[in-house]
Amino acid sequence: MDTVALLIIAAAVAGVAWLVFFRKEDDSSSASSPAVAPAPVKSPASENTTLKAAKVSVPAGADKMTKAQIEAEARAQGVELDKRKTKANMLSEWKQAIK
């Protein structure tokens, strides 16, 4: 083959490669996929009513527990605590969340 034909073939291959790898996604492809609804957000008021309905409380020996044990017990009752805080702050937040 002569060089002109090789250049034309190389340009065609480069053009196809560019289209495959650098083409932006069309909006039409996203329109065909179903829309995903966001997850419902629980309000703090509804969490507190479920906690009160379950009659949960902070265990009597909670002050002798480790921070990891406090977090695990609180999570079992539906209360999220931050282990980066002090033990006293974790216990007070746990008591406040149950009230």
Task: Look up residue 39 and give its amino acid.
Answer: A
Counting beta carbons within 10 angstroms of the beta carbon of residue 59, is it exposed (0 to 12), middle (13 to 18) or buried (19 or more)?
middle
Determine the 3-state secondary structure of 68 from DSSP: helix
Determine the 3-state secondary structure of 17 from DSSP: helix
- Answer yes or no: pTM beyond 0.85: no
Task: Look up residue 73 and give its amino acid.
Answer: E
pLDDT (tens place) for every residue of the chain, 99 residues total: 688 899 999 999 998 888 888 877 655 555 556 677 777 776 655 555 554 545 678 888 888 999 999 999 999 989 999 999 999 999 999 989 988
pLDDT on residue 67: 92
